[in-house]
Structure 1
Amino acid sequence: MKLTDLRGILQYIPRFRDKIFVISLDGAVVAGENFSNLLLDIALLRSLNIRPVLVHGAAHQIESCSKQTRHSPSNTDGTGITDESTLQVAIQASTMVTHQILEKLSISDLRGASTNAIVAHPKGIIQGVDQQHTGKIERVDERLLELLIGRDIIPVISPLGFDGEGKTFRVNSDAVALAVAKSLKAAKLIYITTQDGLVFNGQLIRQMAVNELDERLSSEESLFSPQSLSKAQHAAEACRWHVPRAHIINGCVAEGLLAEVFSNE
């Protein structure tokens, strides 16, 4: 990082001090080569008194675990049917990803905690098909998260939800990040994936107003790349719920997170 870059960052420090950033990491990002650098960037944000809350996916790890066990998962991203064996793989994969994140936080002398802050219930029967162990987010235990944040502990939230009877459900990490951002009134919701941001009709979109995004999602949904669609939908909803900014960035690019956060573009 150049001295001129540091000067550029300094102007944002008063604006973001004590603000909550919900940062959602795709499982493939955690498995990528740039993951260690990404966690160092998050450590830098924390050193500037920004309060990160980490949400992670596990689709990549579910696929890897399933190949090792020769099990075909009923669903990997938490949007379709989750049968019993897929749920067990999802729990195993999510636990592994959470552990990796906590390890990397420890390198930067940051404290993190895995939580059961996502309260969920069964998604139920949709068009005559039982979704089994797929869950729908009921609420976020914001009091728990605020308690951790207030003690300088970074919450790490997996794509799993829990009900009052002790049952576990697979939930979609994009939806989890949105629910957490809304609940905590986050200043930013940041989706970190393995592609270059929001791709529409084969073109990378650097910035888009939420009303324009809503219009395109309504009339031209098929033109969004498959990797962009879910995040675009959840980012638009976040902005409608008064999250000031939502970002979709490439976590494979060095300093991509810092460049996005500390930029006027």
Structure 2
Amino acid sequence: MQANSNDVSQSTTLQYVHWFRHSAPYINAHRNKTFVIMFDGEAVQHENFQHIIHDIALLNSLGIRLILVHGARQQINQNLKSSGLSTPFHQHRRITTRESLGCVMNAVGSVRLQIEALLSMGLANSPMYGARIDVVSGNFITAKPYGIRDGIDFQLTGEVRSVDTDAIQKHLQQHNIVMLGPVGYSTTGEVFNLPAEEVATKTAISLKADKLIFLGKQHGLLNAQGQLQREITPQGLDQYISQSQDTNSELAQQLRSAQNASLKGVHRVHLISYTYDGALLEELFTRDGSGTMVTDAHYEDVRMANIQDVGGLINLLRPLEEEGILVYRSRERLETEIEQFAVIERDGMILACAALYPIPAQEHELRSAEIACVAVHPSYRKSNRGSQILHYLEGKARSMGIQQLFVLTTRTAHWFLEHGFETANVDDLPNARQALYNYQRNSLVFKKRI
């Protein structure tokens, strides 16, 4: 039976309205925030780059302060080839000779002009219509020689010495987009070739940017099961860096930079693909995003529990059990199930806890787990400790291949709704969990796909 075109159109419209409504909290949260977005020269040559420019213009119109950092490796290579020159690499850095510097400067300048031209588009039938975007570039990056490493003179290859944050902030306050390239200038007037990843990272750290976004080839990182790793700690990047060191040095550079930025105060670093139309908007304005986010914020004080934590758990849980908010758990049961619990500890005191119980699945059922026993010390309930531990267990569930989470609660329904759970019924529970449902307690059921 052929679908009615009006029905299809209405369905598409409803999907758009649903997305737009759910993006509103992110629009509010991102306004006046500072984002550093880095992409290499290969991204600029990709057919999807024009869509990326449209999305960057949209972010600018929403009041987000933007610093764009572009690379030019591909263009430099092309210029060198045309000139019959070659420059060796060492430690994944180009050794920039004086005779090759002209090729570097021409490539960087041409990429900058190309981006500025795209940001100046204003055709009536394009997404840029009516957008007035002022792009500013200049000598914001002071560089110094990379020097001699392993006995090799890197000549005019440099490293970032300082970032003129005051000048950049003034332009951002005027709603200008600041654009930086892979070059820096010394106090003696020399030009140095810099890795774009380093420029982006040092700039984000110096500005205390809210986000650092790397646009690369890959759609983020994949876990051992081949699934997208949506969230990871900077420490968790170690294995990916070692894996990509030989196979993809460009990815390794981005990962090292992401790790460095995260450990030095950039709370959100994103790894997304420049080949995927809409990746930037999906990453910033949807709950699941399109790539991998590197963050230390959710995990600062969270860890899996051990047997020494049982006493602290009892002290935290007993008052809630006596009020009937939580189901009673004996010491023996806590000791048996201690490996299911995550805790937040400070100075020897358990401030918050939650447990993750995988649910046995039948052949037709999704792999599911139950989050239970979410508790926060009364003195810390106005903090985000509950959210921290919930996000931690969601990440653990994803790494285990869990596809959906369930929660049963009698008192905290709204809190779970605020954290992305949806109302469900007892019949929605996997059969193994339905068999254990306590009808006398009459808990409400919520579920969340992850």
TM over 0.5: yes
Structure 2 distance, partners of 1:97, 1:78, is 22
Correspondence for 2:120 among 106, 109, 117: 106
* Residue pair 2:241, 2:255 contacting (<8 A) in 1 also: no
Deviation, structure 1 residue 200: 7.0
Cα 1:129–1:137 shift into 2, 3 Å: same
After TM superposition, give the deviation of residue 201 of structure 1 in Å: 7.4
Instruction: Summarize the Cα distance change of 1:27–1:220 in structure 2 as closer, same or farther, 3 Å threshold.
Output: closer
- 1:89 Cα offset (Å): 0.9
Shift of 1:144: 1.2
Secondary structure, aligned partner of 1:7: helix
- Please tell me whether the aligned partners of residues 241 and 252 of structure 2 are also in contact (alpha carbons under 8 angstroms): no
- Secondary structure (helix, strand or coil) at the match of 2:144 reads strand
Q: How far apart, CA to CA, are the structure 2 residues paired with 1:232 and 1:66?
A: 27
Instruction: Give the match's secondary structure for 2:192.
Output: strand
Residue 178 of structure 1, CA deviation: 0.2
Query: Identity rate of aligned residues, in percent?
Result: 33
User: Does the CA-based 8 Å contact 1:26-1:57 persist in structure 2?
Assistant: yes
From 64, 78, 93, give the equivalent of 1:50. Answer: 64
Task: Tell me how far 1:21 sits from its aligned partner.
Answer: 0.4
How far did residue 41 of structure 1 move? 0.2
2:167 maps to amino acid: L
1:147 pairs with one of 159, 167, 170: 170
- State whether structure 2 residue 32 is matched by structure 1 residue 18: yes
Distance 1:235 1:250 in 2: 15
Counterpart for residue 3 of structure 1: 17
1:40 alignment partner in structure 2: 54
Superposition TM-score, scaled by structure 2 size: 0.55
Deviations 1:210-249 (A, max 9, x none): 22224x2687664874332111111011111111111111
For 1:141 and 1:163, how far apart are their aligned partners in 2?
Answer: 13
Alignment size in residue pairs: 264
SS in structure 2 opposite 1:85? Answer: helix
Which runs of 5 or more residues in structure 2 are unaligned? 1-14, 122-127, 289-450
Q: Out of 233, 255, 271, which is 1:209 matched to?
A: 233
Partners of 2:50 and 2:214 lie apart in 1 by 17
Q: How far did residue 163 of structure 1 move?
A: 0.7
The one of 191, 204, 208 equivalent to 1:185 is 208
User: How far apart in 2 are the matches of 1:62 and 1:45?
Assistant: 29
**Is contact 1:57–1:173 with CA below 8 Å preserved after alignment?**
yes
Distance (whole Å) between structure 1 residues aligned to residue 155 and residue 108 of structure 2? 19
Q: Distance in 1 between matches of 2:87 and 2:247?
A: 25
Q: Secondary structure at the match of 2:94?
A: coil
Match of 1:97 in 2: 111
Query: Quick one: structure 1 residues 242 and 21, their matched pair in 2 at CA, closer, same or farther if it must change by over 3 Å?
Result: same
Stretch moving more, 77-86 or 111-120: 77-86
CA distance in 2: counterparts of 1:99 and 1:76, whole angstroms = 29
Q: Does 1:168 align with 2:191?
A: yes
Alignment RMSD: 2.3
Question: Over alpha carbons, which structure has the higher Rg?
Answer: 2
Could you say what secondary structure the match of 1:55 adopts?
Answer: strand
1:78-108, Cα deviation, whole Å (9 max, x unpaired): 8231111222111110000111111111124
Contact 2:41-2:70 at 8 Å conserved across structures: yes
Structure-2 separation of matches of 1:166 and 1:135: 13
What's 2:338 paired with?
Answer: none
Q: Is the 8 A contact 1:200 1:224 kept in 2?
A: no
Q: Does 2:97 match 1:83?
A: yes
Cα distance 1:262–1:174, how it changes in 2: closer, same or farther (>3 A)? same
Q: Structure 1 stretches of 5 or more lacking a match? A: none
- Letter of the aligned partner of 1:29 in structure 2? A
User: How much does 1:207 deviate?
Assistant: 2.4
Deviations 1:61-86 (A, max 9, x none): 11122232232233599823111122
Aligned counterparts of 1:134 and 1:96: Cα–Cα separation in 2: 20
> What's 1:132 paired with?
155
**Aligned residue number for residue 159 of structure 1:** 182
In 2, the alpha carbon distance for the partners of 1:68 and 1:236 equals: 36
Deviations along 1:240-259, one digit per CA (max 9) or x if unpaired, are: 11111111111111111111
Partner AA of 2:212 in structure 1: L
Say yes or no: does 1:115 pair with 2:133: no
Q: Which moved more, 1:223-232 or 1:86-95?
A: 223-232
- Decide whether the 8 Å contact of 2:198 with 2:257 is kept in 1: yes
SS of the equivalent of 1:106 reads: coil
CA distance in 1, matches of 2:222, 2:204: 23
SS at match of 1:2: helix
- State how far apart, in whole Å, the 2-side matches of 1:76 and 1:141 are: 29
- Counterpart CA distance in 2 for 1:77 and 1:42 is 32
TM normalised by structure 1 equals 0.92
Q: Distance in 1 between the 2:67 and 2:20 partners?
A: 24
The 2-side partners of 1:67 and 1:76 are apart by 19
Change (3 A) 1:66 1:150: same
- Higher RCO (CA 8 Å, separation ≥ 6 residues): 1
Structure 1 CA distance for aligned equivalents of residues 157 and 73 of structure 2: 14
Tell me the equivalent position of 2:257.
Answer: 234
